[in-house]
Amino acid sequence: MSEQVNVQDAKTRLSELLARVERGEEFTIARGGSPVARLSALRAAPYGSWALCQAATYI
Please give the domain boundaries of the chain with CATH numbers for all domains.
3-58 (3.40.1620.10)
Alpha carbons within 13 A on the beta-carbon side of 13 = 15
pTM to 2 decimal places: 0.68
Provide the terminal-to-terminal Cα distance of the chain, rounded to the nearest Å: 41
Angle 44-2-17 from CA coordinates, rounded to 5°: 65
Distance CA 56, CA 21 (A): 25
Would you list the DSSP string of 31-55? ETTEEEEEE--SSSPPTTHHHHHHH
User: What pLDDT, in 10s, does the model give residues 2-46?
Assistant: 899 999 999 999 999 999 999 999 999 999 999 999 999 987 555
More confident residue, 39 or 49: 39
